[in-house]
Amino acid sequence: MYRIAHKASLNPTVTQMEIEAPLIANKALPGQFIILRVDEQGERIPLTIAGCNKAEGTVKIIFQIVGATTKKLDAKKEGEFIQDFVGPLGVATELDGLKKVCIVGGGVGCAIALPIAQALHERGCEVTSIIGFRSKDIVILEDSFKACSNNMILMTDDGTYGRHGNVTVPLKELLEGGEKFDQVITIGPLIMMKFVVATCKPFNVPCVVSMNPIMIDGTGMCGGCRLTLNQDGKKVTKFACVDGPDFNGYEIDFDEAMSRGRMYADYERHVYEETCNLLNKAN
């Protein structure tokens, strides 16, 4: 059992928790993830590690309340326990040799991008962060990105805060203006990452994407998180849990990944509604 040391709401649909897990906190690196279960009957879900406090032995997770399991997790109170918390899993983001990087985050994906931006900043890398949200009321982690960025640009789709537009607008402006990034690292919705990669391609800028497909065991055995990559004209299957979650964005078959991500949408909605009814009755 793992204790919830701290809990905070970042916006109406996004929650931050710090879980007591000293062994994981001591080993985790930016880009890695954990798999948790809320209770003995719960499903396994992957969540990227949003930060660690080695002194306190806690691991930070930030999640959006979109399904039955995240609804159950959000119902947990500070001081209560969750059943399982396993990690760190996956391959850490490769940071060596990077001197100038652009981090592009979208929505709750910014929670994954932040520890990478922080780690690069601590290494003396020049960090440009572009973070995007649908509107002002769901903006998260703005001050944290400002603290670790040489240049931070905030975008909202509806123009209610920051600049009006999506994240590819300032990215394209920077690249057209002659900015030479060693790498662009993008984390967010698949459609956003697809267009970030397309924006980078004419400028031949290395672009890394963080993939979060359907995942069950996190060890490469189930095959649920498989991705198709196009490498040297050949289709290659990789697994996000053990080969990723970071991949060369130019190699990802985004259309297939988006199609697979929608496979269980109707079922997930049905289970989410059932869970909401059960939680409402319990309260």
Asked if 32 and 56 sit in the same domain, the reply is yes
Q: Write down the pLDDT at residue 272.
A: 46
Question: How many whole angstroms from its chain centre is CA 235?
Answer: 25
Q: Write down the pLDDT at residue 66.
A: 86
Q: Write down the pLDDT at residue 233.
A: 86
Asked if 113 and 42 sit in the same domain, the reply is no
Structure tokens at 174: 């920077």
Q: pTM, whole model, 2 decimals? A: 0.88
| Cα–Cα distance list, 214 to 56, 186, 225, 228 (Å) | 31, 19, 5, 14
Q: Write down the pLDDT at residue 57.
A: 96
Asked if 106 and 206 sit in the same domain, the reply is yes
Q: Write down the pLDDT at residue 94.
A: 93
| Cα–Cα distance list, 174 to 63, 181, 183, 203 (Å) | 30, 10, 13, 11
Asked if 83 and 131 sit in the same domain, the reply is no
Asked if 104 and 199 sit in the same domain, the reply is yes
| Domain C-terminal end among 89, 106, 133 | 89
Asked if 110 and 48 sit in the same domain, the reply is no
Cβ partners under 8 Å of residue 64, min gap 6: 13, 14, 70, 107, 108
Asked if 121 and 179 sit in the same domain, the reply is yes
Enclosing domain of residue 199 = 93-210
Residue 194's CATH number: 3.40.50.80
For residue 45, is it within any domain?
A: yes
Show the low-confidence residues of the chain (pLDDT under 70).
261-283
Start-end of H helices in the chain: 22-27, 68-75, 110-122, 142-147, 168-176, 190-200, 240-243, 254-261, 265-282
Over 172-224, what HEC string results? HHHHHCCCCCCEEEEECCHHHHHHHHHHHHHHCCCEEEECCCCCCCCCCCCCC
d(CA 220, CA 147): 36
At residue 51, φ and ψ (nearest 5 deg) are 155, 160
Asked if 68 and 99 sit in the same domain, the reply is no
Q: Write down the pLDDT at residue 248.
A: 95
Asked if 58 and 138 sit in the same domain, the reply is no
What is the number of structural domains in the chain?
A: 2
Residue 74's CATH number: 2.40.30.10
Q: Write down the pLDDT at residue 28.
A: 94
| Domain C-terminal end among 210, 243, 263 | 210
For residue 272, is it within any domain?
A: no
For residue 251, is it within any domain?
A: no
Q: Write down the pLDDT at residue 280.
A: 63
For residue 125, is it within any domain?
A: yes
Instruction: Tell me the per-residue pLDDT of 181-217, one tens digit each, with 9 for 90 and over.
Output: 999 999 999 999 999 999 999 999 999 999 988 888 7
Asked if 168 and 203 sit in the same domain, the reply is yes
Asked if 113 and 198 sit in the same domain, the reply is yes
| Domain C-terminal end among 210, 243, 275 | 210
Asked if 97 and 203 sit in the same domain, the reply is yes
